[in-house]
Chains A and B, each alone.
Chain A
Amino acid sequence: MKNSISTPNNIVRTAIRRSFPQILLTAVLIIMIIGLSVSSEFFFTWKNFRNILDQCSVYLLLSLGMTFVIASGGIDLSVGSIAGMSGVIMAVLMKAGMPVLPAVLLGILSGVLTGIINGALISYLKLFPFITTLATMTITRGIALVLTGGVSIYGFSQSFKWWGTGTIGPINPPIAISLLFTIIAAIIMSRTLWGKYSLAIGGNAEALRRSGVNVKGYRISIYAVSSLCAAIAGLIMTARLNSAAPLAGSGYEMDAIAAVVLGGGSLNGGSGAILGTFIACFTLSVLRNGLTMLAIPTYYQQLITGVIILLAIIIAEARNRREKESE
């Protein structure tokens, strides 16, 4: 066999080499879990595990959508605000007497529309994703503030609260939804044209266009999906707290971006892995959970989390560069 080949051996070896960020992250996660289990007997219990997954769910949803956006070479700064705005719209509609289901659907629709607008501005007017989504982030936050008059809306029906606090067997709706979305996103990323083109757009959008692919349409749908995830995150946030706060979700976009990059995504576009994003989100939640458990004050938690994210990104980036130069 002198020529060719995609032998199974090659496929596996290349996949492992390319999974370095995820492998590194998993190693960190395992070390953290061992360390925390030793220092607190409460840590390694199902109750705490469920707790971590529950805390993780909103970030995970935002990060899943963000994985596709970053894969396509873009960025979506508006997801936190969209989550907030969608929750507020649901709350306002329900307070005006609308039944839960249509109110929730309209809230989600408002989020998706924002995503479509993001995508259309980026595709057709060729605006930079950073600036475009920075603007829509401000606008959607403004809408949430206007609709609420700056004060939280609270007190919803039981059937709405179920989305945040109900139970489904051993887990709850936030965990169920976020895990289900993770599985769907992983399948989409690796098995469908849509996932492949998300990555290809980030790699070389012009090459894809020259191959006859409707790049503008795909790009719009990527931002729409990101905002769909954000709007569903908004549903969970609002239902869980039984309150729609005008500033809910502020800054969450940063956590989502950090998770995607930690999970192996590159802001240059062309890479991104759902499994990596999932492990990264989970790791960040374990970290927060552990810091709380060790009774580290909140202000320090923020500091420590930031430093750890930075270190991880430096290591991943260094490895990326070495890989590029050595081959």
Chain B
Amino acid sequence: MGEQLQPFLEVKELKKSFGHIEALKGASLQAKCGEVLAIVGDNGAGKSTLIKTLSGVLTPDSGSIIVDGKEYGHLTPKLAGDNGISTVYQDLSLVNTQTVWENIFLGHEYRNFGWLNKKKMRREAAELLNNLNISIHNHEEIVGNLSGGQRQAIAVARAIHHGGKMIILDEPTAAMGLRETAATQQLIKNLAVQGYGVIIISHNIQQVFELSDRICVMRQGQVLALVDTKSVTSDDIVSMIVSGTSLNGAIQ
């Protein structure tokens, strides 16, 4: 990390309200390629809302988003995708009535002279899931019939497959078993080594410390602190999440 001068992704003073609920009250943040940034915060702190503005799903009321040096008032899913941002949403965003491989290629289908190339998609989906060590017996199964952890794994596989430069994961391991969680964590580390930027939202403090280079603490729609993981203890982070102050009172 650190070699890169310019952050790949930067948001400035983002505001977003839903009716009278102010989900974001001027949040600012930077994320670089090659590093894992963890976002932590209580339920309702605005974490998912923040990353949804980054992936273009939500339009912020004000503020700006700078991707790779280009400044936008807001993104669209297509624009975010074209800029190399791919996202695993907290609610996964899978089409439950469609098969495993159809979901992996959703919005990025292979075509051959305009016709769907199902053979290629089936083959690549099988390769991808094998490489990622995700075990699902039947890729023809519709996703709605799979377990929560399997569904989460498919959403992660999809984001990885679409690649790009920045991968955003909103609580990707919340429903996973031990083995799958370990595999996903390893995957995230590898991504950063390969030069991807990773933003991960997690409520699991141990996981945050194991994975991240920096931690962003959100509270009530604002970024309370953005710290190097090495410079803080887990007790500091917990205290910031819960009461809004770090143990030694120092918040950058």
Which residues 179-214 in A have Cβ within 8 Å of B in the complex?
191-193, 196, 199-200, 202-204, 206-213
Chain A CB count within 10 A is highest, among B78, B122, B136, B140, for B140
Please tell me if the beta carbons of A192 and B95 are within 8 angstroms of each other in the complex: no
Task: Identify the closest chain A residue to B100 (Cβ).
Answer: A6
Known: A4-B139, A6-B139. A211 touches B97 (CB 8 A): no
Nearest-Cβ distance from residue B8 to partner chain A, whole angstroms: 19
- B144 CB, min distance to chain A CBs, angstroms: 7
* A11 to B152 Cα, complex, angstroms: 23
Is B102's CB within 8 Å of the partner chain A? Answer: yes
Is there contact, CB below 8 Å, between A14 and B129?
Answer: no
Task: Indicate whether B111 reaches chain A with its CB closer than 8 angstroms.
Answer: yes
A6 contact set on B, CB distance < 8 A = 101, 122-123, 125-126, 138-140
Q: Which residues of A contact B95 (CB under 8 A)?
A: 200, 203-204, 207-208, 270
Out of A2, A191, A204, A209, name the residue touching B115 (CB < 8 Å). Answer: A191
A327 at the interface (CB under 8 A from B): yes
Judging by beta carbons under 8 Å apart, are B108 and A5 in contact? no
Specify which of B81, B95, B125 lies most central, judged by the most chain A CB atoms within 10 Å of its CB: B95
Q: A118 at interface (Cβ–Cβ under 8 A)?
A: no
- On whether the beta carbons of B135 and A2 are closer than 8 Å, the reply is yes
Closest A residue by C-beta to B97:
A270
- Collect the chain B residues with CB atoms within 8 Å of residue A327's CB: 141, 145
By beta carbon, the residue of chain A nearest B109 is A193
Could you tell me the distance between the alpha carbons of A269 and B144 in the complex, rounded to whole angstroms?
Answer: 14
Specify which chain B residues have a CB less than 8 angstroms from the CB of A208 in the assembled complex: 95, 106-107
A191-B116, A193-B116 known; A212 vs B107 contact (CB < 8 Å) = yes
User: What's the nearest-Cβ distance from chain A to residue B53, in Å?
Assistant: 13
B74-112, CB under 8 A of A: which get 1 and which 0? Answer: 001110110000010100011111100110001111010
A193 to B117, CA, bound (A): 10
Closest Cβ of chain B to A191, distance in Å, is 5
Q: A4, A11, A193: which contacts B129 (Cβ < 8 A)?
A: A4
A44 CB, nearest partner CB in chain B, Å:
38
Does B114 reach chain A (CB closer than 8 Å)?
yes
Q: Are B96 and A204 neighbours in the complex by a CB distance under 8 Å?
A: yes
Residues of A within 8 A of B222 (CB): none
Contact A5–B138 (Cβ < 8 Å): yes
Which of B80, B116, B123, B129 lies at the interface centre, i.e. has the most chain A CB atoms within 10 A of its CB? B116
14 A-B pairs within 8 Å (CB atoms) are namely A3-B133, A3-B136, A5-B139, A6-B125, A6-B126, A14-B140, A15-B140, A191-B116, A199-B97, A204-B94, A209-B77, A210-B55, A211-B108, A327-B145
- Since A14-B138, A191-B115 are in contact, a sample of 5 more A-B pairs with Cβ atoms closer than 8 Å, ordered by chain A residue number, is A5-B126, A196-B102, A203-B95, A203-B98, A208-B106
A interface list, Cβ under 8 A from B = 2-6, 10-11, 14-15, 191-193, 196, 199-200, 202-204, 206-213, 269-271, 324, 327
